[in-house]
Amino acid sequence: VGEGVLSESSFPQVLLKNIKSEYNYEVNADILAQTGWQSKDVLFALDSIVAEQKFDLIVILIGVNDAYDGIELDAFERNLQHI
């Protein structure tokens, strides 16, 4: 996930590859967010997606777009708490 980042170089894909090589464990990943999403977009999507699925691990990589778009830190922190 990220503008200009090749899929195989993205953090989620690197993490999956490392888990497989280090622990010999196959992991399936669902990447929720899209490039350009702010924390409010993740919150909106969570209501429908997370309620229907069970996850063993959730990695949260958000905040860059909030900062870039000038979202107040307090608003970001509230969204992160809800996530």
What is the pLDDT, as a whole number, of residue 56? 79
What is the pLDDT, as a whole number, of residue 70? 96
Confidence of residue 1 (pLDDT cuts 50, 70, 90): low
29 secondary structure, DSSP code: -
Evaluate if residue 69 carries a pLDDT over 90. Answer: yes
**Residues 7-62 pLDDT 10s:** 888 888 899 999 999 999 988 888 887 888 999 999 888 877 766 777 778 888 88
How far is CA 43 from each of CA 21, 24, 59, 63, rounded to the nearest angstrom? 32, 33, 14, 13
- pTM for the full predicted model: 0.74
CB atoms within 10 A of CB 67: 11
